[in-house]
Structure 1
Amino acid sequence: MVYAVCFDYAMNVSEGRAPEHPRGLGRGPGIRGKRVVVTGGGRGLGEQIVRLLVAEGALVATCARTAGDLAALAASLDPKARERLYTQALDVTEPEQLENFVAAAEKRFNGLDGAVACAGGSRGGGLERSDPADWAATWAVNVGHTARLIRAAVPHLRAAGGGSVVVIASISGWKPGPGAQYGAAKSAQIHLAASLARELGPDGIRVNTVSPGSMLIPGRRWDRMRTEQPEAFAAFVSAELPGGRPVAPQEVAHVVAFLLSDWSSGISGAHLPVDRAQNAPAPDGY
C-alpha cells in the first residue's frame, strides 16, 4: 500500500501534473485537531495550505483582502470541512485588523496551535523605478505583517503549551534577482524566523521558514509565461530548474503541514527551500 501511494504521487510529479495530497500526511497526532491561522489564504499557495490543513482535520482561520476569494474557497469545501474553516476579509497591513483577526480565531477555536505567515508581495520596479513608499509597502506586507502575526499569536500559543509558526519567504531571499525590495524583505523574514525561534523556544514555540522556488500557479507569472511565451519558458526551465519544472504549490503546502505537525517537533529555527534545486529565481539569472 505504501508503495502504491508513493508510485501514484511520483507519476503525477513526473508527468507535470499538480500532485494530489498524499493520503495520511497529517492524520492521527500529526495535524488533526490543530488550530491554525493562515494569512493570505484566498489564492495561490495560501489557498493550497488551507485546503490541505482542512482536509487533514485541522481547524483553520484564514484571511485575505478579497472577500470573494474566501467565499469561493469555503463554497468549494464539503459541509463538514467547511465547519472547520473560519474566514475574514482584511488587509494585513492595516493597523489592528490582523491582531483582531487572530483574537477572533482564538476565540472561535478556543485556542491556537499554529500560525502561517503566507501573505506577501512586492510593489515597485527596479531601483530607479521605485520610490521609498514602494520599499515601505513591500516591507510592511512581508516583514511587518509576519512580525505582527507572530506577536499576536504568541500569547495564545504559549497558553496552549507551545506551538508552531511557519513563515513563507522565497528563494529570492538569498538568490539575487531583479526586484531588490522583494528579495531584501524575504531575506529579512528568514532572519526574523531564526531569531524568534531562539527567543520563543523556552515557551515551546517553534518558528521555521519555508522558501518556495518559482511556483506554477494558474494565472500567475510562470503560468502566463508558459502559455504566452512557451519558448522563453522552456529556456528558463532548462537553464534554472534542474528538476525539469517549477514546484507546485501543493508540494510547498505539504512541507508547511509537516512543520505544523507534531512529527516536526524537533525542528525550529530552520530554513527549508522547496524549489527543486532551482538556481536563479528569474529567467535572467544572476
Structure 2
Amino acid sequence: MNDTDGTADRGGARESGTPGPAGRAVIVTGGSRGLGRQTTLRLAAQGCDLAVCGRDAASLDAVAEEVRARYGRALHTARLDVLDESALAAFVRESAARFGRLDGLVTVAGGARGADLRGTEASDWDLTGRLNITHPAIALREAADHLAGTGGSAVLVSSVSGWKPAPPAQYAAAKAAQIHMAASLARELGPRGVRVNCVSPGSMLIEGKGWARLRDEDPRAYREFEKEFPGGRLVDPRDVAEVIAFLLSDRARAVNGANIPVDGGQNAPSAYGY
C-alpha cells in the first residue's frame, strides 16, 4: 500500500507527517473508543499495521471492521484489561511476534476511580496509579527491545490535568507522574534509539462521554466551560490523534522526553473550577 501522505525533499529524505512507509507496526492500548479509536484510524489511514487492545469486544470488532472497510487493512485485536499485567505483557509480545517487528507504542488506556480526598480509599489511589503509570510502564518494558531494533518510539497519553491542577487529586497526580516517567524513560532508552514522549490532551468532546453528557444535560454549564478555551470549543480527539501520529513519525526524530499539550489553550481542566 502506498503512503499517500508522504513526499520527498531534494535530498531524498522523507518529508511526511506519517510514521513512515506503509507496513510499520504500532500497538495502541485502549484503541477502540474515543481518542484511542481516532488514533487507530489515523494510523491505519497512513498504512500502519496495528494491534489494538480494549475491554469491550463489540468496540474492538467495530473498529476492526471500520479499518478493513475504509483502509483495507487487517487489525489484530485482543480483549483485555490493562490492569491485568500478565495479559498486557503477553499482548505486546504476541503483537510483536505477529508483525515480526514493532515501530510504535501508544498507551491511551487510562482513567481514575474515587472522588474527592475524603471520599477516596487507598485502593482508589492504587488502581488509578496502575491504570496510568504501571500499565504504560509494563507495555513499554515489553516493547522496548523491539522498538530498539527498529528505531521506534512510544507515546504515552497523559492529560491537561497532569500539569494544570484540578480534582480529583489521584487522577491529576497519576497523570503528572506519567509525564515525568516519559521524560525519565526517554533518558534511559534514548541511547538505544528509542524515543518516549507524552501527549496531554485537553478536555475532549466525545459523544457518549462526560463532556457530551454535560452539553446535553446542562447546556448552561457547558457553555460556561467552553469559556475556558480561547477558541471557544473543546478539543476534537482527531486533532490529538494527529499529534500522536506526528510524534511517531521520523519528522519528530528530535522530539524526545517531551510533554506536548494538545488542549487548545485550555485554562481550568474542570467545568467546576480548580
Aligned 8 A contact 1:44 1:249 in 2: yes
Q: Distance in 1 between matches of 2:172 and 2:95?
A: 31
Corresponding residue SS for 1:100: helix
Show the counterpart of 2:113: 123
| Matching residue of 2:188 | 199
Task: For 1:1-286, list aligned pairs within 5 A.
Answer: 24=5, 30=20, 32-79=22-69, 81=71, 83-160=73-150, 162-238=151-227, 240-286=228-274
Between the aligned partners of 1:183 and 1:29, the Cα distance in structure 2 is: 30
AA in 2 matched with 1:53: L
Contact preservation (8 Å) 1:31, 1:53? no
Amino acid at match of 1:184: A
Residue 85 of structure 2 aligns to a residue in which SS?
coil
* SS of residue matched to 1:115: strand
CA contact (8 A) 2:158 2:175 kept: yes
Q: Counterpart of 1:204 in structure 2: which amino acid?
A: G
The DSSP-based 3-state class of the residue aligned with 1:96 is: helix
C-alpha contact (below 8 Å) 1:31/1:262 kept by paired residues:
no
Displacement, 1:73?
A: 1.1
TM-score by length of 1: 0.88
The answer (yes or no) to whether the contact 1:30–1:263 under 8 Å persists in 2 is: no
Q: What is the root-mean-square deviation in Å for CA atoms of aligned residues?
A: 1.6
In structure 2, the residue corresponding to 1:78 is in which secondary structure?
Answer: helix
Structure 1: 5+ residue runs without aligned partners? 1-22
Deviations 1:138-186 (A, max 9, x none): 00011000110110100111222x2110000001001111100000000
Deviation at 1:79, TM superposition (A): 4.7
Structure 1 residue 29 displacement after superposition: 6.8
Q: Write the distance in 1 (CA, Å) between the matches of 2:225 and 2:22.
A: 39
SS at match of 1:198: helix
The alignment covers a number of residue pairs equal to: 262
Q: Deviations over 1:22-63 (max 9, x none)?
A: x82757773532210010012100010001101110111010
TM-score normalized by the length of structure 2:
0.92
Pairwise CA distance, 1:83: 3.4
